[in-house]
Structure 1
Amino acid sequence: MDPVFHLIGLPTDCNSSFERGPALAPPLIRDALWSDRGNTSCENGMEIGCDFQILDKGDLALAEGPDDDDLIRKAVAVTLQEHAIPILLGGDHAVTYPVVQAIHAHYGQVTILHVDAHPDLYHDFEGNPRSHASPFARIMENGLAARLVQVGIRTLNRHCREQAERFGVDIIDMQNFAPGNVPGLSGPVYVSLDLDGLDPAFAPGVSHPEPGGLSVRDVLNVLDRVTGEIVAADIVELNPRFDVNGVTAIVAAKFVREVASRATASRKGMP
């Protein structure tokens, strides 16, 4: 049976700092995914609808209140109970914490591949422990991940450096980046792709652009370093308010296809 992926939109940005806007992103990523400007093929030769299925579950009815995390956990749990693979469309990066909570409840500790300009390890940011700058601190202090590998980091301040040491985070920063420097990642693997991990030339539509980042090809090469089973993924921090001709949404849609195809390959025993 071909793998089935559930596409779930998380339209929230209440935990964003500096700028709002990522809550608007999920419909635009969907539009780019299904647009006639492209097709349903992936770089490993697989095709949506032939080798795997993507079922669009729409956006969760998030109210940007205290019940949102539970709604996210329940939606992911339902997907897993149906033996499908969740791909979450943010929204800001704060959504990763409740998603990983649900993944951990099903699989136990996971290996996390995190692509980002920022380590998102603040104990709290501006007094908010659920800030989009803090999800991986919450994940690591609660023992949800056996390993956290961060790629593309180029804003590591003293506090986050101390947090990385505290939690034993593997950081491949941009000064030392090469795809071969990323360790092979065994499963179960959770992939978290913050679009500002890309250089702004490739993804202008983000709230916190940071020059000197990854290319789209770099990210695809990093995904090829995953040797274990990809059990879930999120693609976050697209801010349509700053996008240019929809290019960042198109990149996000590309990542949906390529994460799904690589997850399918791992299940079928393909390289």
Structure 2
Amino acid sequence: MSQQKVALLGVPVDHNSTYLQGAAIAPQRIREAIHCDSSNMWSELGVDLGDNPQWIDMGDLVFPNNDRQQTSQIIRSSADELIKRGERLLSLGGDHSVSFPLIDAHAMHYDGLNILHIDAHADLYDNMDNNPLSHASPFARLMETGRIRRLLQVGIRTLNGHQREQAEKFGVEIIEMKDWSDDHQISFDGPVYMSIDLDGLDPAFAPGVSHHEPGGLSSRQVINIIHKFAGDLIGADIVELNPNRDINNMTAMVAARLAKETLARMISK
């Protein structure tokens, strides 16, 4: 497993967003930030990602239309093919709806899959705007499959009554932002998929998101989580950048840094 190549995959989808669109143009903006001359290709973990044969950019998926079921199936089947080829996958969204088919594909290959979910929102709605594939519902859909061993959510600060009921129903573990401490030791037994919604960060660090939720994590705290949580990181996504709301590409650069640190961890493992 340690020799697996990591595939970077863009998933330009935002037609499942409930508030603003714009996330579909995020993958290209994150790529531009990854390669921006203002920085370099070294990660903090000491991995040089420049011209590194251990990862490959697969470009963006192409969707013929905005049909929700078809879009979800294209994402799932594309991820499935890459995993079958023996590659680990880092995906760039797109809104958070892309995480359901992405993680579902991983769960079909990794028994006892765990999820580490960083977000301001629990995304556990049973039904949002009569769209079961909404970006507000991916983790409800995943837990309904029965294939997820453990879902741990970090940074949540928008829980309502319904989502608390959903969390209890599915046995979801939540570290609300009000209870977060840098001393938290996050540990998993078995394979881990990490999903990072950029609005899990405080808007001061990531203003380029559709949903501004004050009181979130710092970029340093999220990087530390990526570096330090215990478990075998087998796949990940970074979602919900909305370039239409970004300031001087600040959030794109944050997403690029998180992508570099995630790539480095997946390669080094």
TM-score by length of 1: 0.94
For residue 217 of structure 2, what is the aligned residue in structure 1? 214
The runs of 4+ residues in structure 1 deviating greater than 3 Å are 49-52
Paired residues for 1:38-57 under 5 Å: 38-49=39-50, 53-57=54-58
Report the alpha carbon displacement of residue 109 of structure 1 after superposing the two structures with TM. 3.0
Paired residues for 1:56-205 under 5 Å: 56-62=57-63, 63-65=65-67, 66-205=69-208
- In structure 1, stretches of 5+ residues that fail to align are none
Amino acid across the alignment from 1:64? N
Report the alpha carbon displacement of residue 118 of structure 1 after superposing the two structures with TM. 0.3
- In structure 2, stretches of 5+ residues that fail to align are none
* Cα deviations by residue, 1:15-39 (Å, 9 ceiling, x for unpaired): 1001111011010000001111111
Q: Secondary structure at the match of 2:109?
A: helix
Report the alpha carbon displacement of residue 216 of structure 1 after superposing the two structures with TM. 0.6
Report the alpha carbon displacement of residue 180 of structure 1 after superposing the two structures with TM. 2.6
Q: Secondary structure at the match of 1:190?
A: strand
Say if 2:200 and 2:216, in contact at 8 Å, map to a contact too: yes
Number of aligned positions between the proteins:
266
Q: What's the C-alpha RMSD, in Å, of the aligned pairs?
A: 1.5
Amino acid across the alignment from 2:12? P
Say if 1:11 and 1:26, in contact at 8 Å, map to a contact too: yes
Amino acid across the alignment from 1:23? A
Q: Secondary structure at the match of 2:62?
A: coil
Q: Secondary structure at the match of 1:224?
A: helix
* Cα deviations by residue, 1:107-141 (Å, 9 ceiling, x for unpaired): 12311000000000000112211110000000011
Q: Distance in 2 between matches of 1:189 and 1:180?
A: 20
For residue 231 of structure 1, what is the aligned residue in structure 2? 234
Q: Secondary structure at the match of 1:106?
A: coil
1:23 equivalenced with 2:12 (yes/no): no
Report the alpha carbon displacement of residue 82 of structure 1 after superposing the two structures with TM. 2.0
Report the alpha carbon displacement of residue 186 of structure 1 after superposing the two structures with TM. 2.8
Say if 1:115 and 1:150, in contact at 8 Å, map to a contact too: yes
Say if 2:6 and 2:267, in contact at 8 Å, map to a contact too: no
Say if 1:182 and 1:222, in contact at 8 Å, map to a contact too: no
Q: Distance in 1 between matches of 2:132 and 2:185?
A: 29
Amino acid across the alignment from 2:66? E
1:256 equivalenced with 2:256 (yes/no): no
User: What fraction of aligned residue pairs are identical, expressed as a percent?
Assistant: 47
Q: Secondary structure at the match of 1:32?
A: helix
Q: Distance in 1 between matches of 2:29 and 2:169?
A: 38
Q: Secondary structure at the match of 2:187?
A: coil
* Cα deviations by residue, 1:219-245 (Å, 9 ceiling, x for unpaired): 112223422211110000000110000
Q: Distance in 1 between matches of 2:159 and 2:140?
A: 14
For residue 12 of structure 1, what is the aligned residue in structure 2? 13
Range moving further from structure 2, 208-217 or 253-262: 253-262
Q: Secondary structure at the match of 2:55?
A: strand
Paired residues for 1:232-247 under 5 Å: 232-247=235-250
Gap change, CA 1:123 and 1:182, over 3 Å in 2: farther
Amino acid across the alignment from 2:181? A
* Cα deviations by residue, 1:42-61 (Å, 9 ceiling, x for unpaired): 11111114766321111111
Q: Distance in 2 between matches of 1:52 and 1:200?
A: 35
Amino acid across the alignment from 2:48? E
